[in-house]
């Protein structure tokens, strides 16, 4: 792999947990549990590979209308694993960032998430971004309203600072597991020039080697940004 061409920021749409579980005649929550473990391992792997930012699509604004028991299961995973893994990330000089409408989540989850990003190291080698109750459209509307509140016209650089992702680079590569060929409201503004990689592999089966395949695909592409 050519180091100079590595993606700086990788977005990851972690889809297929439910189908993975269904195929094993297990409850969907079991798929989410396996998915969570995979995400934690992939963060470490991505950092080792030299990726600087990994944004994991953990919960979309639309997912909030899933059945209560599935959501409770997902929130319990956060209650049980989030803080412990944040500590691990900090210990390895990694930062944590949350993007999404956190305040609309159960209060204890909102608190846990906010606490989790508070003490991130300033000069982190790697940043793990959790997109939770995240929606690209809601993010844009929120930024527009913030711009209006300021009472002056904005430009691209000014507007980008008002997005949840303010200060983060755009995703160079977006990977979606689980076979669907869509972005499902993920990084709608920021993905304008992202390279896209789709795989049928269901997220709990998305190994480090599968991740490397996506990086290799990215490295082989020519990004033109409209130029010749
Ligand atoms: C993605 O897996 C994880 C979340 C949306 C929380 P799904 O739960 O969408 O899994 P499938 O698509 O039903 O297999
Ligand atoms: C996208 O997956 C959201 C996450 C992976 C968190 P979905 O399963 O919600 O997407 P759709 O409904 O198939 O578009
Ligand atoms: Mg899905």
155 given a catalytic annotation: no
128 Cβ partners below 8 Å, 6+ apart?
43, 54, 56, 89, 94, 95, 96, 97
Atom of ligand 1 at shortest distance to CA of 58?
A: 6
Among all bound ligands, the one having the nearest atom to the CA of 35 is 1
Atom of ligand 1 at shortest distance to CA of 22?
A: 14
Residue 170, helix vs strand vs coil: coil
Helices of type H across the chain? 17-23, 28-49, 68-91, 107-118, 136-150, 156-162, 208-219
Nearest CA to ligand 2 atom 3: 60
Give the tens place of pLDDT for each residue, 68-88: 999 999 999 999 999 999 999
141: phi > 0 → left, psi -120 to 50 → alpha, else beta; which?
alpha
Nearest CA to ligand 2 atom 2: 15
Give the tens place of pLDDT for each residue, 186-196: 999 999 999 99
Nearest CA to ligand 1 atom 3: 15
Q: What was the pLDDT predicted at 4?
A: 53
Instruction: Tell me how far the alpha carbon of residue 43 lies from the centroid of ligand 1, in angstroms.
Output: 19
Q: What was the pLDDT predicted at 199?
A: 99
Distance, CA of 135 to CA of 117 (rounded, Å): 19
15 given a catalytic annotation: yes
Task: Evaluate: CB of 43 within 6 angstroms of ligand 2.
Answer: no
Give the tens place of pLDDT for each residue, 15-31: 999 999 999 999 999 99
Q: Which residues of 35-52 are buried (b: 16+ CB within 10 A; e: fewer)?
A: bbebbbebbbbbbebebb
Atom of ligand 1 at shortest distance to CA of 14?
A: 1
The predicted model scores a pTM of: 0.97
Distance, CA of 38 to CA of 50 (rounded, Å): 18
pLDDT band at 61 (very low <50, low <70, confident <90, very high): very high
Give the tens place of pLDDT for each residue, 143-163: 999 999 999 999 999 999 999
């Amino acid at each position: 792999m050519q180091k100079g061409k590595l993606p700086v920021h990788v977005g990851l749409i972690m889809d297929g947990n439910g189908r993975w579980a269904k195929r094993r005649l297990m409850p969907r929550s079991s798929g989410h549990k396996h998915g969570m473990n995979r995400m934690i391992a992939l963060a470490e792997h991505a950092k080792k590979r030299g990726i600087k930012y990994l944004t994991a699509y953990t919960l979309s604004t639309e997912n909030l209308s899933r059945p209560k028991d599935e959501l409770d299961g997902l929130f319990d995973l956060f209650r049980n694993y989030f803080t412990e893994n944040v500590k691990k990330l900090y210990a390895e000089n990694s930062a944590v960032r949350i993007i999404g409408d956190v305040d609309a989540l159960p209060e204890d989850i909102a608190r846990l998430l906010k606490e989790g990003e508070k003490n991130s190291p300033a000069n982190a080698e790697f940043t793990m971004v959790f997109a939770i109750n995240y929606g690209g459209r809601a993010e844009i509307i929120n930024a527009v309203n913030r711009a209006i509140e300021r009472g002056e016209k904005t430009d691209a650089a000014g507007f980008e600072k008002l997005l949840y992702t303010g200060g983060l680079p755009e995703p160079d590569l977006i990977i979606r597991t689980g076979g669907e060929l869509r972005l499902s409201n993920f990084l709608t503004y920021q993905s304008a020039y992202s390279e896209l990689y789709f795989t049928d592999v269901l997220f709990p089966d998305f190994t480090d080697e599968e991740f490397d395949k996506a990086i290799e695909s990215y490295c082989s592409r020519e990004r033109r940004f409209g130029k010749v």
